[in-house]
Amino acid sequence: MSKYNVAVLGPIPRDHITTHHGEVIEKYGCATHTAIGLAKLLGSDGTVFLVSHVRKKDETPVKQLLSEYDNINVDYITSDHDQGDVISLKFIDQNNRLEKQTGFMNPIIPEDIKDLLHCDVFVCVPITDYEVPLETLKYIKENSRGIVIFDGHGPTNTVTMTGDRLIKFWIDRDQWLPHIDVLKMNLEESKCCWFDKEYLPEKLVHSNDESIEHLPAFAEHALKIGVKSVIVTLDANGGAVFFKKGEKVHHEMVKSIRVEHVIDTTGCGDSFAGGLGYGLLADKTDYIKATKYANALGAQRTQGRDFEVFKSKEETDQMILDNYGSI
């Protein structure tokens, strides 16, 4: 079997986390979860190329952390501009948090990935609207045959001059969608993607409801423009997967993998994206199988404070079989 090559594009923020249990955790986050989860699944079958920009003082610690994984290439983690994300997260409950950002990564541009166009999959995990810009997605689609998996967390979140991280409408959505193969996001982010032509002022309020009524219409729109699959995570309710069967939009729910005790949910979405990337390597259109791997990595992420939570392919396959009955 030929070796797989996977590129992971995104920030490696220096995170200061206060969990919903009141515990304080300091670690490097986001793309590290994606890359390490993928690396554990790949084993000797491939290489993960992590593309990111960090502060100069963080470059050595980040690379030392990743050096434990023989199949993660760190040559594309650079600190030339001495810019990197620095974020404080305070969890109100298991799934909701207050965020403050005090450091900002310079964007990943085409020049950063010009030697990675051979990759089978590009897993893009931005957490803010500047980290993986549209020009980079266009460059990948124009010059590579690799699948582009994109996390909607990025374009639906911004940072203010006071360091507050706020969720926002993805107004220019339709300029991005033709350059994305698999669009992954959570329910709140999906509501930033499907908006009215105009609102009464009193209707512009933050929505925390669990309604998924908008998803079929949004997914149909995205698939019509060029996205191959829309996958929306619904926390404990699993994932809503949309893709085309023939000319019709197929919608399938993939239940979550239950865990007894949740220790830390930071990085669950990033881990989920890594699972999607792995699941689509062998079959580029098996979105249900990919979501099972994604759910498995997301569940593993909740089980501890460090990266030891991620399991091998054999252990993960067993986890999937135990929960779904098939891979």
Q: Spell out the domain ranges in the chain.
A: 4-196+213-324
Percent of the chain at pLDDT > 90 equals 87
Rounded distance between C-alpha atoms, residue 86 and residue 88, angstroms: 7
Cα 131 to chain centroid, rounded: 13
CATH architecture of the domain formed by 4-196+213-324: 3-Layer(aba) Sandwich (3.40)
**What pLDDT score does 209 carry?**
79
Rounded distance between C-alpha atoms, residue 284 and residue 56, angstroms: 37
Average pLDDT, the chain: 96
Tokens of 170: 């993805």
Query: Exposed, middle or buried, 305 (CB in 10 Å: 0-12/13-18/19+)?
Result: middle
C-beta of residue 193 within 8 angstroms of C-beta of residue 172: no
**What pLDDT score does 2 carry?**
63
In tens, the pLDDT along 232-274 reads 999 888 999 999 999 999 999 999 999 988 888 889 999 999 9
Rounded distance between C-alpha atoms, residue 189 and residue 94, angstroms: 17
Task: Give the pLDDT mean for 286-292.
Answer: 98
**What pLDDT score does 321 carry?**
98
Tokens of 313: 């392919």
